[in-house]
């Protein structure tokens, strides 16, 4: 309230108008990224979708990096990835993995249109690779946590880590969804898959040398 009192009515209207325009542009970018992908999205298409001039888009986002960073922040605010603390306290590694996959696959399902396009175009758009760096760091971190606590190491642990990494991939969930599996069915199937790898690793780690 104190801040508003220091701003003239004219300035306040201008600020609100500017924010409204920026949001329309970001909404247009998100829609186009979901429809055609970041690599095929043009400034002209963004301007037309947002109902503004090309120069207005550049005024808010002077380059591709600023535009993609803005789009990423805008979309991620509405689609945050699962919080690992939700499953980190589960002691049994199999149950922990199942809980994590359930949350992650739901995230994939809800963000399917955007994630599919972004992952496809990541190697073609430099600014997109930069934006995706925190996402891959997040995926690496949760993969490490979900690969721990199974009771063995060495070669068997390497295979387990690969199985967990495969289960966490968006493309893995997407292929199962295309086969008609629900989010819960897909999570259960991949948790069972990792459990089989873990059982094999446990047998190998206890086998007499």
pLDDT tens-digit map of 62-111: 999 999 999 999 999 999 999 999 999 999 999 999 999 999 999 999 99
pLDDT digits (tens, 9 = 90+) for 133-189: 999 999 999 999 999 999 877 788 999 999 999 999 999 999 999 999 999 999 999
Burial class (CB in 10 A: 0-12, 13-18, 19+), 208: exposed
The domain defined by 2-78 folds into Tetracycline Repressor; domain 2 (1.10.357)
pTM for the full predicted model: 0.86
**The predicted structure's pLDDT at residue 200:** 86
Instruction: Give CA–CA dist 21/16, Å, rounded.
Output: 9
Residue pointed to by tokens 């199999």: 94
Distance between CA 39 and CA 47 in Å, rounded? 16
Residue 205 pLDDT: 58
Domain boundaries, the chain: 2-78, 85-206
């Amino acid at each position: 309230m104190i801040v508003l009192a220091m701003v003239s009515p004219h300035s306040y209207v201008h600020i609100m108008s500017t924010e409204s325009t920026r949001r329309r542009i970001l909404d247009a970018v998100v829609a186009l990224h979901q429809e055609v992908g970041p690599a095929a999205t043009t400034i002209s298409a963004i301007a037309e979708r947002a109902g503004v001039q090309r120069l207005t888009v550049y005024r808010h986002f002077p380059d591709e990096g600023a535009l993609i960073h803005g789009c990423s922040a805008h979309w991620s605010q509405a689609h945050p990835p699962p919080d690992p603390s939700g499953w980190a306290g589960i002691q049994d590694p199999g149950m922990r993995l199942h809980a994590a996959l359930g949350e992650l696959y739901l995230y994939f399902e809800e963000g399917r249109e955007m994630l599919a396009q972004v992952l496809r175009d990541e190697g073609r758009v430099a600014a997109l690779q930069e934006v995706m760096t925190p996402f891959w760091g997040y995926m690496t971190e949760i993969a490490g946590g979900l690969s721990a606590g199974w009771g063995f190491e060495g070669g068997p642990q390497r295979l387990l880590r690969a199985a967990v990494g495969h289960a966490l991939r968006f493309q893995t969930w997407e292929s199962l969804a295309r086969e008609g599996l629900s989010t819960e069915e897909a999570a259960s199937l991949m948790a069972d898959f990792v459990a089989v790898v873990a059982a094999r690793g446990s047998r190998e780690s206890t086998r007499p040398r």
